[in-house]
Amino acid sequence: MFDSDERLGERQQQTRGFGAWQADLALQRQFHLTEAIALRFRAEFFNIVNHPNFGSLNNILTSPLFGRPKQTLANSLAGGNNAGFNPLYQIGGPRSIQLALKLQFNSEQPKGREATRVGTVHS
């Protein structure tokens, strides 16, 4: 199959990077203003503990920076020259918070049912 020299060459080009983890949290609450109108508030927190995640390592043996990360994971996933997604929204990006308000109109209320208050927590 493979010559031992070929496999050795492949192994020399590989490095193992850092693991990645991120804690996200989303909370939402719905307020019934009237029978037909509800207001929903939603808050989403990404990388809530602001944990740094590093990208690929410098694998050039002659470099003084050998074995050190080149950039953060979010920037490495985004690609060069803004080719990918914004690093803010990638895993490993900085802490970010997103808030939303949604006003809902319900023109038809089912007969025999009362509006109920709903509060949910997502994690």
The residue-averaged pLDDT of 85-93 equals: 70
Establish if 63 belongs to a structural domain: yes
Angstrom distance (rounded) from CA 76 to CA 54 = 9
State the chain's mean pLDDT as an integer.
75
Establish if 9 belongs to a structural domain: no
Task: Assign 103 a pLDDT band (cuts: 50, 70, 90).
Answer: very high
pLDDT on residue 32: 94
- Burial of 90 per CB tally in 10 Å (0-12, 13-18, 19+): buried
The residue-averaged pLDDT of 45-67 equals: 81
**Which H or E run includes 100?**
strand 96-105
Cβ count within 10 A of residue 64:
7
Greater pLDDT, 96 or 68: 96
Establish if 105 belongs to a structural domain: yes
Establish if 68 belongs to a structural domain: yes
Structural domain count of the chain: 1
Instruction: Give the range of the structural domain holding residue 105, as residue numbers without chain letter.
Output: 17-122
